[in-house]
Every structure is written in structure tokens, then in C-alpha cells.
Structure 1
């Protein structure tokens, strides 16, 4: 016997069904997984498969020369995460020595790179290999994957049973759609494709955009450039959440995190509870939203100290319609003598700089485009299903996913951070962990049953999106602001976010809803029952009477009882709707419930 299978005596290849009938119940057949991307999501998937599975093979393809995805690519001045650093980690893998509340991209890259090294994940990864296509193989099932070796420029082929797209949403950077970009004679930079060799000292710099990247760049370069002309076409809310202002950790604080039992985990839990307590901010006409907006408005006014900028930069739409950013030092930088703010549209790029809708040309030596990414959710390469349909075409108008992890009619294809997952609803890495666990449950089901294909039913996707669209009417995300949350434009549907909180998402994905999935089998669907033997009987070290005991210590059978064990219900003081922000008052949750 080998790994629970009775080894066949014949050399003739067996079908999967024949192989299963010769082994015990739930025999683990070999499963081949290809994962696209070695950013945070891809690294976590590799870790989970390594920790929880056997009889599998994994290949991760990464287009960059290093792992860590966006945190390897983004290294513009001031690049940082807008989530507190101690909580921008995996739940099980803390980092003791973050330098500050909002850590730099270099520190975050180091965290994920060290994670890959610690768990020996590089052995699964081929860097400088870019997936350029995936086509369903009708003869043997699974995907034929075409991969370009970026060093040799040679196309190599692979095949997998299950294809996982972990290429992310904020990594396909793009130039702004402004006429004349090719005419510009100065130095042209994009924040997501930064050239470290460019020295901005003493230069006249133009900065297009006031999203997260632009907000981080401005205060970083302002002290050492000759002048910054920042081009802004619309307002945005900028303010750290109360209680989460930037703070540099002292040596004593780091030592306490490293040596005092429970200090770091309690600090992380406090922040996480606070982040999870903010969902009410995103619901229209609640006290928490109104109070947060009043706080942000006052903060922006106090820091801008300029009536002209206040009128143009403080939004008239609700807080949260666009992604909130702490904006450390940004508003103050706008008032510096060497910063000029040009509000309005750029009509065209000229040889010298930007020609704006005020009729003026603004010459600059260096033009920085902090203009973000293609957030259409379409895959960056063709994904062809058994019917010959390309997912790029299917999602050309509107990306339509099942719970942010899969697409109807595309079997054995899973997605990290797909459409309508909680990428802006709360702690994002918690949501990624939840998605990885869900995928592992699907892979386990595929491996231990004689499943040939699984994909969400079209009607399940339709129902999910109908529910999502109705829910979004009650949220600030539905406001007519221009946001990457709405890939079809300011008045289009919310395509990026989950209809609920991050905790809501975690609970929604705890268990598989196989009634939402179209599951097909190879041969008789009960072939997984095998040769009549249990997994316990083929393990000589197992207790063959494990169910005989002194008392009933079974795990709970109901969903609610299971959840109360997971969330440690009864072990903490009542939250009562109070978060560290101080903005959710006593009875805050009651108000939210009434609104819903």
C-alpha cells in the first residue's frame, strides 16, 4: 500500500474511477494546481496548500523578478499602505518590528518576502514567467496554460486541473487617457513603474492625480523639489481615522511587542476590532456616517486653511464613496510656498507640460502620473472555457463573479480579489485568508471525490448580483463619485465591493454552498466510496475506536454554535457598537440595524 492506495499490479494505466475503486473512501487523487501571481494572495495559497494537502503539485508563475506583487512593483516616494501595519499581516504571522503605524512599501515587501523564505515557498515559484493564455482542454479536462519566459522570450506550456488567478486588482497600471502624452519632452514617470534613477531634487515637478498614490507622493517630494504643480480634477476625503494617526514606534514599544506576552496580539486585536467596527460609516444617513463626515470635514478645513482649496477639495458626496486615505502630511503640503494646485481638467499634454481647461499651459521638468490601474477585473490574458468563450469578453461590459471567487461557466477557475469581494470594506488580508480557505475546501472536495469540473451556476451569480445591487442602494458607495469601486463609471453598479462588512464576508464563506455550484463527475458519482475500507483502517497508527469516549465532546453541529466557538463569544466585554474611532456611539449597532 502507498498513501492509502492499493498499488495496481498491472502496468496498464487506470482511469480515475478504477483507481478510486481500488482505494479507501475519500482517497486523495493527485491534483495539479497552477497559480498566477506570487503577490500576497499567491504566497498565501502556496502556504495553505503546503500546510494542508498531500498528493498535489503546485506551480506559481510570477511576471516580476521578485515575489510580493504590488509591494515589489510600487516603490515611488512615500509609498505605503493605508492600513495600520501591524494589521497588514496574516492573522497567524505577526511582525514585531514595524517602524510606524503606516509602514513603507519597502517594509511590506520585506514582510511578504520573508514569509516566502520562512516557509520555503520559492520552490513553487518561477519568477519572470508571465501567463499569456489559458484554454480548457476538452480531451482530458483542466487548462492548458501558455507561459512566456521573460528572460528567454520563449513560450512554455503547462497543464493543470485547477487554475487560480492571484494576479490581483491593483497591479495593471495605466497612463492617463489624456491626448498628447507622446509629445512630452521632459521626464515622464508613473507611480507604479517608478524609475529609482530619477533625481527630483531642485526640479520643477508636475503631479497628476489625488488618489492614494498622489496623496502619498506630494508630501514626500515637496521638501526637496523646486516646485510641485499638482493637477486635481475632483475632490476626495483625506484624513486619518481618529485614533489611527501616523505614529513612529519607539525602541521601547518594539521591545514590548517582542517580549511582553500578549502585548502585540492585544494591540492587533484592538485595531482589528476597530477596523471591523467601521462598517456603519458606509451606510447612508446613519449617525456614524454623519459624525465621521463632520470629523473629516473639520480635519480637512483645519489643515488646508485655504478657502479656495476647501471649496474644491472637500467633497459634497458621502465619506467612503471613494477609498478613504489617511493622507499623512498631504493637506499641509498643499499650503507650502512651492506647491501650486491646479483644479480642473487637463485638456492635453504638450511638449513642455500640461494644457488645462483654464487655458493656461503649465511647464514642468518631470511629469508624475499618479493615475492608478486598470480595475476592470477582466483577466490580463485570455481564459477560454469549454464552450470557447473568453472571460475577457464575458466580463467586457460588467464583471460578474460568484462571491468574488469564481465565474459562471468557467470550470475549475478560481479568483482572488475578484469582483464584489471586500477589498474596501474592512481588513483586506482577512478577506484574502477567507478566500484561500474557501478555495482549499473546493480543492479538497475535488481531490477526494471523483469530480471532473466545478463552477458556480449562472442563476446563483445572477441572484448574488441582484442582492448586491439592491444592498448597494443603501450605501455611500452608490453615490455618483468617480471611484475604482465602480468600473463602469460614477453612475454604474458597484463592481469591486462586497455587500456587507469583512466579518460578514468571512461568515458567508465559512462553508461551501454546493447547491450554488454546477458539479460534474467522472463516471459514477459514488466512486469516491472506494473499496469499502475507511481512511482510519488504512492507517495502522490511528485509533480504530476513536468515537468511543467518556462524554459527548463532539464539535457543534449547528452553524451558530460553531461560530460562537470560532469568535469566542462571551470572552470579551460587550462591544456595544463602540470602536476606537469614538465615532460609533452607544447604541450605534441598534441604529444600523434599524436602517437595514
Structure 2
């Protein structure tokens, strides 16, 4: 007798989507484990100044649960957090959730045909085990903060904040602030910090491609129209999705066939930079030397102008160490600071994929296997040797630009899979090694068309790449292809027992 039918690790949008699908199928004995103190995933953890989604609100939501009341075309973080709470309440998911509990490990018991999951309170305490017929990991792609490997970072005597652990109580007004990192998070954060700092130094290792952001407040009459006639919001979603797919996804994933689109996106970003930054040397430093899309690009109208301000400095000389009072660069110059902000992103490949130890059949360690023999998962969902296991943040799973495209494709996959399990009156499923290998071969073949293989990416330092140098995060097909594939994959590729 198991404790639960399904254990889901993670109460973000991915985990909630899986729970919604399972409840549609009649599963009620669910447990959703969340290490944080509330639901929402990244939209609960992150609350740094300037936080907003960089995908239009009409697209960044479940298609089956549209929100007609978005206040902004690009929703702010608080709006996304409120939307997550709305979804949890409407679909009655909170009663399945436990907070402040982390998953330490999971192993498949082949005799009992269930998963044994070891958990522990985040605040400290004894470990416990829970069993479930099925295990699903929804720990997100960007869940493990990355700390910089810089000498002296722990010796800094001032205030240190990582963007993923923002402290709202820290007083930034009139302070000398140093920001390390210029990724998508920093692009949102830096303009807000600059408004409060007496002096701001931004330490950039790799510049980021930034294009204009067509953001605006959604008028009340439009919100009312979306609510009264939902078809209008679906049209807006479809139109925005088609534009994103045509310009951004095609330019990156179909680089070989549509290099002109990639060049056009880069030209747009360069023109945006020329319009907004006065100093030629600063523009040169802010211009990437890698192909558009090798590293995650972003949208902003106020990032570049920040570097026109007299109290803001862009530093591209490498950091050698951090002292108790400042940051020293390789030219020997030390800049005194009061607050150190780490916008250094997330660690995907050392502490994620998976985010905790998962041991399958015959003692196979998922993380070690991926790192030693290559990353793979059938349709970005299941792995041979791991029965009754669904990985919702897997190699080649991320489809399109909106994470909700990925979530809904995976929801449909598990709905078909669990439907077949029930029809066959079976207790276990496992994807065949042959089907998995065939899918991986198809992905690798399609990767040859992408900017990752065809473009100039050596200087990008992108989290898209594993430590071994492979770009396995994005599914190298169109969103339409992903939707078609999830309806067409043969259920016979699975073994049911």
C-alpha cells in the first residue's frame, strides 16, 4: 500500500499543470512537495525590483485558464504570483500541497512497484520517506541560484543580495552598489537600482542582446472585452504567439534556413542600442560578439539608457577578487561599494537535471547517467529505466518562447499516457530505449539547423549549454511540431505492466 498515487515535486506552474491533468483523469490522492513557503515557483521566489515576464501576458498563461484582467501587456511579477494563486484556488490544488519541505532523493522499488521519496523540512528536522506509484519532478529550469566563483566573495563586509533571494528590507538609497551579471534578470533590475544608488557599477562578462519592448498598460475597456468575449483574447494570444514564433524561435532554431531573420533580429537590437546609448565606447562594450540567440535575449526600453547616467559605470575588465570593502579588477583598480548584488543566474547543470537524486531500475542514477552518457528524454518527458517517472524539466522539452507551451504539451503527453495505462488496467509504464534513442536522434539531427550548431556561439557563455558543451535545453522544432508530436507519438512505444 502506497501513501500516494502521485508525488509531484514543485508547486510552480509546471507542477500545478500536472496536478490539473491528473485530477482531470480522476486522481485525487496527490502530494505536491514545495521547498518554498508558498506556491508559484519563480514568481514566488523572485521579487526583485523591476521583475516582470518578458513574454506578453496573453501568451504567458494557461490557454485553458486565460486571465482577462492583466494590467500590463508584460505582466509584473506580482500579477503572475496572483495568477498562480488564482489557478491553485480554482482547481482546488492547495489541499494537495505541503510547503517548506524539500525532496532529498527518490528511488524506484522494483518489488513494490512504487517510488520511495525521502523528504526533509527546509527549516531543519528529521528526514522522512513517502511512497507513491508515480513520481513527477517539476522543479523548474531556473531553480538553483548560481554563486560566482570569485575570490573573497564571502569576505565582503557590506550587504550581499542574490536576485533570487532578494531582501526588500535592504536600503539602497544613496548607496554605492556593484552588480555582477548582465543577463535577463539584470536587464530588469539595473534600471530600478540606478534610480536609488549614489553610484552604480555594473560588472559585465558577456553582453546581452536587447530588443525594444512594446509594453503598455492594457486599457480597462480591452480587459472588459477580453472578459466578455474570450475569443478576442484567444486571437490576441494567437497573433502574439505567431509573431514570437516567426521572429524569435525561427531565427534561433531554424538558423540554417532563416539566417536572414537572425541577422534582422541582431540588426534591430543594434539599432536599439545606437538610439539609446550616446557614448561609442559604451555601445561597443554593450554589443555582443556572438550570434543572436546563442544566449537568451531579452526586451527592454530602459536598460541601455541607464548607462547614459553619470553615476552609472559599465565595467568589462575581469574581476580578480572581492575585498571586504569593494571589487578589484585585473587592472588593479578597486571600486568601493556598500551593497553587492549578484545577478549571476542559475546553476542548471551541476545541481539541476534533476534537482535531487533520482535512482531508477537496477540502481541507475539519472543525474550521473545524463552527465556521463548524454542528456535525453523521450519527447522531453520520460526516460528508459525509470518506470512511472515523469520529468517536467527535461532535455529537449522547452518548446517555443512561453513556458506555458511546454507545460501544456507535457500535460497532454501525460494525459494520453495515463489514459492508456488505465485502458490497459496496468500499474506501470516505461518508455522503450529504442523509442527514446529514435527521438534523441531526431533532436540531434534538427539541432544541426539551429544557431547553436550553425552560428557563432563560442563567446556566449550561455546556460543553454551543458558543462560538456551541448545545447540540450530547447526542443529544436516549432511549437506547432511539438503540439502535433504529442498527439501522434505511438503509445506502443511504452511498455505497460
> TM class by shorter-chain length?
over 0.9
Q: Secondary structure at the match of 2:298?
A: coil
How far apart, CA to CA, are the structure 2 residues paired with 1:230 and 1:340?
6
Task: Tell me the secondary structure at the aligned position of residue 100 of structure 1.
Answer: coil
Q: Take 2:238 and 2:5, find their aligned partners in 1: how far apart are those partners? A: 37
**Residue 199 in structure 1 maps to residue 171 in structure 2:** yes
How do 1:314-393 and structure 2 match up within 5 A? 314-376=287-349, 377-393=352-368
**Matches of 2:438 and 2:320, distance apart in 1:** 42
Residue 488 of structure 2 is aligned with which of 507, 511, 521?
511
Corresponding residue of 1:274: 243
In the alignment, is residue 264 of structure 1 matched against residue 233 of structure 2? Answer: yes
What CA distance in whole angstroms lies between the structure 1 residues aligned with 2:420 and 2:4? 11
Instruction: Give 5+ residue unaligned stretches, structure 1.
Output: 1-12, 14-29, 522-596
Distance in 2, matches of 1:322 and 1:476, equals: 10
Q: 2:216 matched to 1:247?
A: yes
Native 8 Å contact 2:370 2:376 kept in 1: yes
Match of 2:398 in 1: 422
| 2:60 equivalent to 1:88 | yes
Please list, as runs of the form range in 1=range in 2, the aligned pairs for 1:43-122 lying within 5 A after superposition. Answer: 43-50=16-23, 52-54=24-26, 56-122=28-94
C-alpha distance in 2 between matches for 1:461 and 1:263 = 40
Q: CA deviation at 1:373?
A: 0.8
Counterpart position of 1:571 = none
Partner of 1:213: 185
SS at match of 1:143: strand
Name the CA distance, whole Å, in 2 between partners of 1:497 and 1:126.
31
1:482 to 461, 477, 480: 461
> How far off its partner does 1:56 sit?
4.8
> Among residues 373, 381, 384, which one is paired with 1:408 in the alignment?
384
Q: Is the 8 A contact 1:434 1:509 kept in 2?
A: yes
2:55 and 2:401 in contact (8 A); partners too:
no
Cα distance in 1 for residues equivalent to 2:285 and 2:159: 29
Residue pair 1:134, 1:384 contacting (<8 A) in 2 also: yes
Distance 1:119 1:520, change over 3 A: closer
CA distance in structure 2 between the partners assigned to 1:106 and 1:229 by the alignment: 28
Contact 1:469–1:494 at 8 Å: present in 2 too? no
For the Cα contact (< 8 Å) 1:276–1:503, is it kept in 2? no
Residue of 472, 479, 483 corresponding to 1:502? 479
The verdict on how the C-alpha distance between 1:33 and 1:314 changes in structure 2, with shifts beyond 3 A counting, is same
Offset of 1:382 from its aligned partner? 1.4
From 114, 122, 127, the equivalent of 1:142 is 114
Q: Does 1:123 align with 2:92?
A: no
The 3 A distance-change label for structure 1 pair 55 and 323 is closer
The alignment yields a C-alpha RMSD, in angstroms, of 2.2
Q: Secondary structure at the match of 2:118?
A: strand
The question of whether the paired residues in 1 share the 8 Å contact of 2:277 and 2:308 is answered with yes
Instruction: After TM superposition, give the deviation of residue 276 of structure 1 in Å.
Output: 2.6
- Offset of 1:441 from its aligned partner? 1.6
TM-score (norm 2): 0.92
The offset of 1:251, in angstroms, is 3.1
Distance 1:219 1:32, change over 3 A: same
SS of the equivalent of 2:335 reads: strand
Superposed CA deviations along residues 144-192 of structure 1, whole A, max 9, x for unmatched, are 1112133562322211111000111111112112222111111011000
Unaligned runs of 5+ in 2: none
- Is this contact kept in 1: 2:430–2:496, CA < 8 A? no
Distance 1:358 1:507, change over 3 A: farther
Moved more, 208-217 or 392-401: 392-401
Residue matched to 1:444: 419
Q: Which has the larger radius of gyration?
A: 1
Q: Are the structure 2 counterparts of residues 460 and 298 from structure 1 closer, same or farther at C-alpha, using a change threshold of 3 Å?
A: same
TM-score scaled to structure 1, two decimals?
A: 0.78
**CA offset digits 1:318-358 (Å, max 9, x no partner):** 21111120023101111111110001321222111221123
The DSSP-based 3-state class of the residue aligned with 1:470 is helix
* Equivalent residue, structure 2, for 1:464: 439
1:223-275 CA distance string (max 9 Å, x none)? 121111000011221113xxx51112233433333345643332222212222
1:11-50 maps to which residues of 2 (within 5 A)?
Answer: 32-50=5-23
Deviates more, 1:311-320 or 1:361-370: 311-320
Range that drifts further, 146-155 or 207-216 = 146-155
